[in-house]
């Protein structure tokens, strides 16, 4: 079953009482709140990726999993109840939205969909955009962590040996030729590179499922493969897990990703193709 919703379908569902739309616009430089005040879907409260959908940066990487109590408080403040159906979106890349999709399901929220193409697709479909912040009635959702598998460093190594570990970063970062964010360049030994640019269309929407299956098949990935994903800090890795889901493949996410891997100097580092 697809985890995506089109902008046209959201336009038809937007007024349904049990539907909660969450704005998770996000950039690495922390521009989410500014993007939200610049325009968002009517009725959609803002959920901050850095403070709600991730814990403090440290040995667990730049975007480790949040404490479940902090996540619960943030989602209750956004109006989430146990029976809510959720749609998450960002400005168009679905990076922030995919992180929200994965983290909410990790915490036990079952009905979560991603607006394919984000706010850009919503605008293109004729959806109204507002700038006033939304302050919903608090919700009463009860969360329970670990409903999805979050890989640690040892699990990532095992996945690379038993199945396929997918590095979702750019080819240059994977090969160790450049590293604009983390202090060490390279990749986890045994990982294969499937950059996000291979998975999305020019407008930010995911490629059709048959094209995604074809791309992953080039890495010997199909519906029975043991698959893990990682990136720099667990954001793009969630997007790759979403793409794999659309291709019919279940994947676990190494949330700490490269930024956590390199905190232990004894861990090996590979470079090149």
Kindly report, residue by residue over 28-45, the tens digit of the pLDDT.
888 999 999 999 999 999
Residue pointed to by tokens 């109204």: 128
Residue 149 has pLDDT above 90, yes or no: yes
**What pLDDT does 83 receive?**
96
Burial tier of 81 (Cβ tally within 10 Å: 0-12, 13-18, 19+): middle
**What pLDDT does 29 receive?**
87
Burial tier of 220 (Cβ tally within 10 Å: 0-12, 13-18, 19+): exposed
Note the pTM of the prediction, 2 decimals.
0.97
DSSP state of 252: E
Residue 247 has pLDDT above 90, yes or no: yes
Mean pLDDT across the stretch 49-73?
97
Residue range 200-235, pLDDT digits in tens: 999 999 999 999 999 999 999 999 999 999 999 999
Which position among 35, 98, 194, 231 bears the catalytic label?
A: 231
Instruction: Give the domains, in start order, of the chain with CATH numbers.
Output: 4-125 (3.40.250.10), 150-262 (3.40.250.10)
Asked if 230 is an active-site residue, the reply is no
């Amino acid at each position: 079953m697809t985890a995506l919703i089109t902008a046209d379908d959201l336009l038809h569902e937007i007024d349904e009482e049990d539907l909660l739309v969450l704005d998770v616009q996000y950039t690495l430089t922390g521009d989410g709140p500014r993007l939200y005040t610049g325009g968002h879907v009517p009725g959609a409260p803002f959920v901050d990726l850095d403070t709600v959908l991730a814990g403090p940066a440290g040995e667990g990487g730049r975007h480790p999993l949040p404490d479940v109590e902090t996540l619960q408080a943030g989602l209750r403040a956004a109006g989430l109840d146990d029976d809510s159906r959720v749609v998450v979106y960002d400005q168009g890349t679905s990076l922030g939205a995919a992180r929200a999709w994965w983290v909410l399901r990790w915490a036990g929220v079952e009905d979560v969909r991603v607006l394919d193409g984000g706010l850009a697709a919503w605008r293109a479909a004729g959806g109204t955009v507002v700038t006033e912040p939304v302050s919903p009635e608090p919700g009463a959702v009860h969360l329970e962590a670990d409903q999805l598998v979050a890989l640690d460093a040892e699990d990532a190594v095992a996945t690379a040996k038993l199945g396929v570990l997918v590095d979702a970063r750019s080819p240059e970062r994977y090969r160790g030729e450049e590293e604009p964010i983390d202090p060490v360049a390279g990749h986890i030994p045994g990982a294969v590179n499937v950059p996000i640019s291979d998975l999305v269309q020019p407008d930010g929407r995911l490629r059709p499922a048959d094209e995604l299956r074809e791309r992953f098949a080039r890495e010997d990935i199909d519906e029975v493969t043991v698959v893990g994903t990682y990136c720099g800090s667990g954001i793009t890795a969630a997007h790759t897990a979403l793409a794999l889901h659309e291709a019919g493949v279940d994947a676990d996410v190494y949330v700490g990703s490269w930024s956590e891997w390199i905190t232990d100097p004894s861990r090996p580092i590979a470079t090149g193709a």
